[in-house]
Amino acid sequence: MIAVPGFEGQKVAVLGLGRSGRATVRSLQAGGATVVAWDDGADAASIAAGEGIALVDLTQPGTFEDIACLVTSPGIPHLYPAPHPVIAAALAAGVPVDNDIGLFFRSLGRADWDRFDQAPRVVAVTGSNGKSTTSALIAHILTEAGREVQLAGNIGRGVLDIDPPEDGGIVVLELSSYQTELARSLTPDVAVFTNLSPDHLDRHGGPGGYFAAKRRLFAEGGPDRCVIGVDEVEGRFLAGQLSEGPADDRVIRISSGQKLGGPGWAIFARKGFLSEYRKGRQIASVDLRSVAGLPGAHNHQNACAAFAVARTLGLGPRPIEAAFHSFQGLPHRSQLIAEADGVRFVNDSKATNIDSARQALMAFRKIRWICGGLQKEGAIDPLLEATGQVRKAYVIGREAAHFAMQLKGLQVDVCGDMATAVARATADAEPGDTVLLAPATASFDQYDSFERRGEDFAAEVEACLATRATVKG
């Protein structure tokens, strides 16, 4: 646990008592703060009360008269489309609002770090797509190299729930726009920007606000090294703002699909090969085509980002390449869950927006595509441009018929639920086909998370294949 200093003898309020919220309470108490907490959900509040956390209804008038700071969970709106009433009350009372990420960075450095031969370092990864895989891949590479690594944030453990890093320890954080927008302290040693595509626009007041939330990690954090995906204009703009000139190797530009030139430091993947260039010369190359845990161009971009971070931290190309091959990938992200009679079944339930689903569709051939759910803002035209390998779409969700109407030019089967979609796709599939779950939508119309949707897909595939095996037997 990371103890949070600076609030000794003061009262701090915590809003939201999920896993990270309860860890925040414990960390503040360990630093000497008096903590009062609240959650609108009865279940979360009950769990917190069972752990001895003092509950105070923060919605009551006058609550913030003696509060030094409000710490809120990332899922709670603090600005758009409207602040949560508790946050609005705190702001009206002039009380600072922070989150666990901000507390982590203000608490990390300790006086006893002077005894370390090598100070701990923090790698922070943000972006629209690929940040989970990139974060996990960085942690895997460093672990394989014998480094002390902890994975936290949106993946792994809560950021305040990790152990204080020791001599040479590395903390890898996956950070969402919700976290980077609000954190009052952001000071990573290495920061990664994977890419940007429309997402969470209601929470950020549009695409400009969304990009600004991501940009804070770099503009306010002042990392020693920045790894920037430049396949979108926002990434190119950010890289240009951060570098002093074309040869400034504090900024490492990465790409999937285009060769990057110039005198600076660049890492890119084309046609399945990763290349590293410095000062206009190629200094390393990795064949990614046989790396089973990183299929498709979008995962090759993740590989470029992780390669760049590992090189920044002193690893050579060959150990990184070896670690690529032992990486198993993450659940619900281009995850091969079964193969039978020449048909592959791939779970990419994490493809919750148009761009991530488009990348998934570009990674496979002869696709039986299971899609649909709670549709987000924006047209799906960019997604349709990547459907050349789709043999048929099987649409799920409460508004399956509406989503199906937008899939112009495709053969479509409106299924409604996962069991029907898997059964029909499996029955139609031929050797060489891939049954791919890449919804392009949020899960919340039928599931409480993308993980639960992916687990349901895997269960239905298992049941369907078992029934087919019984019939054949």
Q: Are 62 and 56 in contact (CB under 8 A)?
A: no
- Helix axes of 19-30 and 42-50: crossing angle, nearest 10 degrees: 40
Q: Does the N-terminal peptide bond of residue 81 adopt cis geometry, omega within 30 degrees of 0?
A: yes
Q: Where are the beta strands (DSSP E) in 309-406?
A: 335-340, 343-347, 367-371, 390-396
| 263 secondary structure, DSSP code | S
Q: Is 128 marked as a binding-site residue?
A: yes
Q: What dihedral do alpha carbons 300, 301, 305, 307 form, nearest 10°?
A: 20
Q: 55 and 37 in contact (C-beta within 8 Å)?
A: yes
16 is in an annotated binding site: no
User: Is 473 a known ligand-binding residue?
Assistant: no
Contacts 24+ apart (CB under 8 A), 203-211: 203/77, 203/79, 203/80, 203/81, 203/177, 203/178, 204/79, 204/80, 204/177, 205/79, 205/80, 209/80, 210/177
127 annotated as ligand-binding: yes
> Alpha carbon of 402 to those of 296, 398, 407: distances in Å?
29, 9, 9
Q: Is 131 annotated as a binding residue?
A: yes
How many Å apart are CA 58 and CA 26, to the nearest integer? Answer: 19
Distance (Å, rounded) from C-alpha 347 to C-alpha 456?
10
132 is in an annotated binding site: yes
How far is residue 323's CA from residue 309's CA, in Å, rounded to a whole number? 14
Is 27 marked as binding a ligand?
no
As annotated, the binding site for ATP includes 127-133
As annotated, the binding site includes 127-133
